[in-house]
Amino acid sequence: MSSTWKSILTLSIFGESHGPAIGMTLDGLPAGENIDPEELQTFLNRRAPGRSPQSTPRREGDVPEFLSGLKDGKTTGAPLAAIIRNTNTRSADYGALQDVPRPGHADYTAHVKYGGRHDHAGGGHFSGRLTAPLCIAGGICLQILERRGVEIAAEIVSIGGVTGSEAELMAEIDRVRDAGDSVGGVIACTAIGLPPGLGDPIFAGMENRVASLVFGIPAVKGIEFGAGFQAAHQRGSEHNDPFYLNGGTVKTRTNHHGGILGGITSGMPLVFRVAIKPTPSIAMPQESVNLGACESAMLSVEGRHDPCIVPRAVPCVEAAVAIAVFDAMLGGCGLSL
């Protein structure tokens, strides 16, 4: 329950934003898999803040320390455990939030759930910072998948409704920051090179697996596969993807199904999109309540906050689907024992 995802792989994520460390344990990896630390760091840096003028100036480094499961750069078969020390934390910044929850944030629900005993500083266990351990696990799965011919790439489709070049997207983020506001966006992700036959029916389909991981990224409000919500507007004659033979391989002429039929991969690219909501923490004053005094209160979030976490969420989405895909691959694509 809660912060552990268990299928064939087991991923356990722990940590609080301003606690001593965050980390993860990934259990079930095969032994002997090479892990390239530089490639992993490059991947992790994509989600780190402070990488562009558009994201928060607080730089965290986020260099994982591996505690077990790795020897001479290769997996040992034992659970892979890694931590990232929290540094440069400033809990004082968050003192006021204990009583006045941020609209749109987990402050209030965490308060109810844990009776005020949780570590609320910086969002605690609900912080976006907890996606760093997800990215460690996913970054490792990405390396393993790449050697098996699977490539996964996500990209920003729109920011606050604006589509276009990276410059246009970044300009929208700048406008939002200047307004003391925040903004959401849509991310599209594609995985190619998957063999047909991955996934299982009903509750262990690829959609279920991917969704159960992707909703582990805070701020995700929706997910759609292939044609997604557009499929609801289509007729069968338009939506159904015709099968054809391509050099002995079965393919489909279109890919409205997004590479998944009946929960199982078809061999076509696995395609999905994710909706990311705006960051809750904004400088503009917002109406809230003081839970201690039980009275109305206005809140203006000071300090360092991303106006838009969509760019940083891109590798998180890749990480989530990489874990789901490798997990399904460990389950096999239909060959008998």
Residues numbered 196-215 forming contacts with its own copies, rule: CB under 8 A: 196-197, 199-205, 207-208, 211-213, 215
Q: Which helix (H) or strand (E) holds 84?
A: strand 80-85
Of 53 and 73, the one with the shorter C-beta distance to its own copies is: 73
Q: Which of residues 288-307 bind its own copies (CB under 8 A)?
A: 288-289, 291, 294-296
Among 64, 280, 311, 315, binds its own copies (CB under 8 A): 280
Question: Which pairing describes strands 80-85 and 74-75: parallel, antiparallel, or unpaired?
Answer: unpaired
Of 196 and 269, which has the nearer Cβ to its own copies?
196
DSSP 4-30: EEESSSEEEEEE-TTSSEEEEEEE-PP
Q: Rounded to the nearest whole angstrom, what is the least distance from the CB of residue 324 to its own copies in the complex?
A: 12
Provide, rounded to whole angstroms, the least separation between the CB of residue 209 and its own copies: 8
Residue 247 as a binder of its own copies (CB under 8 A): the answer is: no
CB closer to its own copies out of 44 and 301? 301
Counting contacts by CB under 8 A, is residue 145 touching its own copies? no
Single residue of 67, 87, 151, 166 touching its own copies by CB under 8 A: 67
Tell which positions 11-50 bind its own copies, by CB under 8 A: 11-16, 19-23, 25, 27-28, 30-33
Q: Which of 122, 139, 184, 315 binds its own copies (CB under 8 A)?
A: 184
Cα of first residue to Cα of last residue in the chain, in angstroms, is 31
Q: Does 269 bind its own copies (CB under 8 A)?
A: no
Residues contacting its own copies: total by CB under 8 A: 158
Interface with its own copies by CB under 8 A: which range of 36-44, 47-55, 56-64, 109-117? 109-117
Q: Is 190 in the site for its own copies (CB under 8 A)?
A: no
For residue 146, count other CB atoms closer than 10 A to its CB: 15
Q: Which is nearer to its own copies, 29 or 152 (CB)?
A: 29
Which residues 6+ apart lie within 8 Å of 160 measured at CB?
172, 176, 183, 184, 185, 278, 308
CA 298 to chain centroid: 31
Is residue 177 involved in binding its own copies (CB under 8 A)?
A: no
Q: What distance in Å separates the CA atoms of residue 278 and residue 274, rounded to the nearest whole number? A: 13
Q: Which of residues 152 and 186 has its CB atom nearest to its own copies in the complex? A: 186
Longest dimension (CA), the chain: 71
Q: What is the dihedral of CA 63, 64, 70, 71, to 10 degrees?
A: 40
Residue 10 near its own copies by CB under 8 A? yes
Q: What is the smallest separation between the CB atom of 225 and its own copies, expressed in angstroms?
A: 5
- Residue 87 beta carbon to its own copies: minimum distance, rounded to whole angstroms: 14
Handedness of CA 149, 328, 215, 70 (dihedral sign): negative
Decide: is 220 part of the binding site for its own copies (CB under 8 A). Answer: yes
Residue 233 CB, nearest approach to its own copies (Å): 4
Q: Is 149 exposed, middle or buried (0-12, 13-18, 19+ CB in 10 A)?
A: exposed
For residue 59, the minimal CB distance to its own copies (Å) is 21
Residues 238/159, Cβ–Cβ less than 8 Å = no
CA distances to 187, 236, 255 from 162, rounded to whole Å, are 12, 31, 25
92 binds its own copies (CB under 8 A): no
Cβ pair 33, 26 in contact under 8 A: no
DSSP 146-159: HHTT-EEEEEEEEE
Rounded Cα gap, residues 128 and 47, in angstroms: 10
Q: Is 115 in the site for its own copies (CB under 8 A)?
A: yes
- Choose between 152 and 282: whose C-beta lies nearer to its own copies: 282
- Is 106 an interacting residue with respect to its own copies (CB under 8 A)? yes
